[in-house]
Structure 1
Amino acid sequence: MASRFDVRDARGEDPERSLPHALALTLASALVWGVAHLVTGRRIVGALLVGAFVLLGAAAAVAGLFFRPRLMELAVQPAWLSGTAGGILAIGLVWVTVVIRSYQLVRPGALSLGKSTAGGVAVTVLCFAVAVPVSWGAYNTYVYRDALTSIFQTGGGNGRPVNTKDPWNGQRRVNVLLLGGDAAANRQGVRTDSMTLASVDTKTGDTVLLSLPRNLESIPMPAGPARDRFPYGFTGDGGGTPGLLNEVYQYAEDHPDLVPGARKNQRGPELLKATISGILNQPVDYYILVDMFGFADIVDAMGGVRLKITEPIPFGQRGEVLQPGNRVLKGKEALWYGRSRTLSSDYARMGRQKCLLAAIAKQADPQTVLTRFDKLAAATKRAISTDIPQELLPAFVSLSSKVKDGSRIDSLQFVPPLISTGNPDFALIRKLTARAIAGERAQASASPSPTGTKTRPAAGASPSPSPSPSPSTKPVSLDEACPH
């Protein structure tokens, strides 16, 4: 048998007219490995190639259909990502080799220069059609791994050992402090203008979001150097730092002696975690800090975020306005939507920020992530810092799937008139926190406000964040709180 499939000898046809047939067989081999080998009588090799191709496809289908949760857990493990990138490249190399060898087997024996060139170009294009998506997949896997290892460090930043067999150390709930850092060129350091403790039930995924206002005063400090310096509550340095909750992070960074043993960029998170833990009387396990200006880059990388705006919101420094209606906001517009206090208040802004984050979470679908992956990864690296260790990422992925699959997400904001920011009732804050986490749904009238008057439940509140929020003492579902 000839080393090359001779169409003229087999069929008595003119080889000048056999090139389309050869290219068709090459294309078929690119779609299903081994077709050209089988046609040319190389049955053993052809059968092996077809079997390998079918096995790979079946394995991918079965994994996607029946083992998706496990795949999601593996997708946050750097070692598996490295292996995946290498595997993708290996498959791509085999694929291109199959295409080239298939054409060699079915190519007519005598072609004119023009036909030969046309055939070579066609096969080259076909090889690129295989190589480009394979290379794209391997590259994005590498980019993803790089972003993952840049944001999440091995062992985390809290120095505690990680038990992957019991990731929550027997705890029924895991508490993650979500921070929005408002750094800018005209401001020294970072001010944590958004502070929310997400308390998640590790069994059910039910979540309570407990939000503290940026301007909370007279904050009790944790035992140790911080309380020794501020025995009667945090007062800052005076002047530009009057002693608000959003100053604790940067104050710790500027005063290393308050958090002995902590490195730069860890002092702020550690002291703020301990401070908020004391305010709410709840442990704070981990934190995630999102730089608000980097957050705008994330929104742009997503292609914008869809939101329903219920009232005009001033935007920018030129008198622009975000008009009511269903809008797709770009990064800077989304940033202003979440930060603007003009004709509004800190507390209305807190509500908008939660709705904005909820909208982004819902719209970060697989198609958006895949098509804009490199931009999203780069923006996320710039915008996010955390002490969640790499080893716990599979457990967090599993937990997040519970949160998305129908679990309830409630929100409770400690804002006026429920809580006076200038003279906070910390005993009431702790009481309401315990009640919210316990899942109680007591009527608001059962708990007096700091002024001694009865308050109304949030069920009758407007679905849009308002300048004067209802003094609700029970958590409200985000689906109820955010306009649709």
Structure 2
Amino acid sequence: MLNILLPGSAQVLAGSRGLGRFGLRASLSLVLLLVLTGALYKVNPELVLSVATNTIGLWALAAVMLFYSLLWVILTFDTLRLARLVRIRPKARPYIAGLATIVMIVVAGSSGYGAYVATTASGVLSTMFITAPSEPPVDGRYNILLLGGDSGPDRDGMRPDSMSVVSIDAETGQAVIIGLPRDLTLVPFPEDSPLNAAYPNGYGYEDFCDVTACMLNAIYTEVDQKSPEMYPNAVAGGSEPGIEGMRDAARGITGLTGLTIQYYALIDMQGFSDLIDALGGVDINVAERLPIGGKEDLSDVEGWVEPGQQHMDGFTALWYGRARHGSSDYDRMARQRILQQAILTQFTPANVLTKFQGIAAAGQQVVKTDIPQGALGYFTNLAGKTKALPMSTVELVPDNGVDPTDPDYDYIRGLIAAALAPPPAAE
């Protein structure tokens, strides 16, 4: 029992005092480290999270957990030796040995698994996030371009079907999502964009562009396939020419030409399916019956996503987000927001730890971003604030007075400015 409560104490009292003193010091040091970490997290959570999302910090954490796992095994076996089970009443021996063994397996196994998670997370984070200096907030905000790309097996290449700018107050975490419809036309570009020289009057002015449909989501395809030389430094910066074209388009649309859209995140909808399966499914309240596959006249439909509360696997959730026939593009945009929020809700620490291997494997396929690994601590802390606050959305759709085929960009920027304006101070 002493070894369970305070590893090393049994050795100090009953022999092997050198090992006991070492075990006691190590045990007390661990307790002190946990207390100090908890206190530091209360004072400066960003610092603790920065260490926990840093490659060196994760490997150091793994080494510490492996050390204590091995130490616990050694002290447990030595305690059983000191207890001299042969002198204990026969009926009590199995209980004592069993309890010690169970505790050893639980504690040492948990530490070993924690070390595995830490080393695996280090590799995943190094793959998903770039090594670069962090961008500062501008006018107190971070602006992140969020692209949902659809590269399903029935589609040729990838195109961003879901586009939004998430603007986050760098201090409070208050977030505004600006939804950009894929069929927006006459997209303007900032003066410093190479696309401005090619389309000074807006993308698709007088039906001129280098692809079939001159709409917002075609900009990615055109730059990526026709003119990647416009953005020669994109790949070196952890991005792609098509993504940089979309970033400039988002700046022009939103009027954030004086700001930097500091980061982007491209989420592959097909990879989303694998992530949802890794999480164990997702719960969504479906408003209307939606077809899986099929044609515009709803022929050749493979199945249906039925209305009502549904626990969806990845395949069903993917079609919930991408189904277009029988509903409008704007309905689909709204469903994709619901899907994203449902996944974030289920992204709890307990769920991630218990299903870590599958989530880690899926995560590397799902997300591409230029957020640097060194900024993860800050953004993890900021995301905690964002999650605790109501999130507002500005959808640039007809219901909000926006005609994507003939957009009034002054009106659009007015909508966005009103949404980003700080709330009036309470009297």
User: What is the TM-score when the length of structure 1 is the normalising length?
Assistant: 0.75
Match for residue 393 of structure 2?
A: 411
| Offset, 1:64 | 3.8
Secondary structure (helix, strand or coil) at the match of 2:283 reads: strand
Q: Percent identity?
A: 34
Structure 2 gaps of 5+ residues are 295-300
State the partner residue of 1:232. 201
CA contact (8 A) 2:144 2:263 kept: yes
- Structure 1 runs not aligned, ≥5 long: 1-24, 156-160, 442-484
Shift, 1:232, TM fit? 3.1
- Deviation of 1:168 after TM superposition, in Å, equals 2.5
Q: Distance in 1 between matches of 2:71 and 2:64?
A: 11
Say yes or no: does 1:332 pair with 2:309: no
Does the alignment pair 1:262 with 2:234? yes
For residues 23 and 107 of structure 2, the distance between their equivalents in structure 1, rounded to whole angstroms, comes to 16
Corresponding position of 1:201: 169
In the TM superposition, what is the alpha-carbon distance from 1:215 to its structure 2 partner? 1.0
Task: Within 5 Å, give how 1:457-468 maps onto structure 2.
Answer: none
Amino acid at match of 2:187: I
Give the residue type in structure 2 aligned to 1:209. Answer: I
Instruction: Choose from 174, 178, 181 the match for 2:146.
Output: 178
Q: Does 1:376 align with 2:359?
A: yes
Cα distance in 1, alignment partners of residues 76 and 311 from structure 2: 44
Instruction: Work out the CA distance in 2 between the residues paired with 1:108 and 1:207.
Output: 62
| Structure 2 equivalent of residue 150 of structure 1 | 127
1:248 and 2:225 are equivalent in the alignment? no
1:388-425: CA deviations, max 9, x gaps?
112222221221122123x2310010012521121211
Cα distance in 2, alignment partners of residues 243 and 47 from structure 1 = 74
**Structure 1 counterpart SS, 2:217:** helix
Q: Distance in 1 between matches of 2:355 and 2:85?
A: 43
**How far, CA to CA, are the matches of 2:129 and 2:61 in structure 1?**
19
User: 1:225, 1:257 within 8 Å by CA — same for their partners in 2?
Assistant: no
Q: Does 1:29 align with 2:29?
A: no
* Alignment map for 1:266-305 (pairs within 5 Å): 266-282=240-256, 283=259, 284-305=261-282
Structure with higher Rg: it is 1
The verdict on how the C-alpha distance between 1:30 and 1:272 changes in structure 2, with shifts beyond 3 A counting, is: same
2:297 alignment counterpart: none
- What is the number of equivalent residue pairs in this alignment? 401
In the alignment, which residue of structure 1 is the partner of 2:49? 72
Distance 1:85 1:41, change over 3 A: closer
CA distance 1:314–1:40, change in 2 (3 Å): same
CA distance in 2, matches of 1:135, 1:392: 28
Q: Pairwise mapping of residues 308-327 of structure 1 onto structure 2 (< 5 A)? A: 308-317=285-294, 318-327=301-310
In the other structure, the counterpart of 1:19 is none
Alpha-carbon offset, residue 356 of structure 1: 1.5
Asked if residue 210 in structure 1 is aligned to residue 184 in structure 2, the reply is no
Q: For each residue in 1:335-383, what CA deviation from the matched residue of structure 2 results, as whole angstroms up to 9, or x when unmatched?
A: 1111112221110111111111112112211211110111111111111
Question: C-alpha offsets along residues 260-284 of structure 1, whole Å, 9 cap, x if unaligned?
Answer: 3333852112111111101111131
Q: Superposition RMSD on alpha carbons, in Å?
A: 3.1
Tell me by how many angstroms 1:180 deviates. 0.2
Cα offset, 1:314, TM superposition? 2.1
Does the C-alpha gap of structure 1 residues 363 and 184 become closer, same or farther in structure 2, counting only changes over 3 Å? Answer: closer
Q: TM-score, structure 2 length as denominator?
A: 0.84
CA distance in 2, matches of 1:399, 1:277: 23
Distance 1:239 1:281 in 2: 25
Measured at CA, do residues 240 and 185 of structure 1 come closer, stay the same or move farther in structure 2, by a change above 3 Å?
Answer: farther
For 1:360 and 1:263, locate their aligned partners in 2 and report how far apart those are by CA, in whole Å.
29
CA contact (8 A) 1:177 1:196 kept: yes
- The 2-side partners of 1:186 and 1:312 are apart by 22
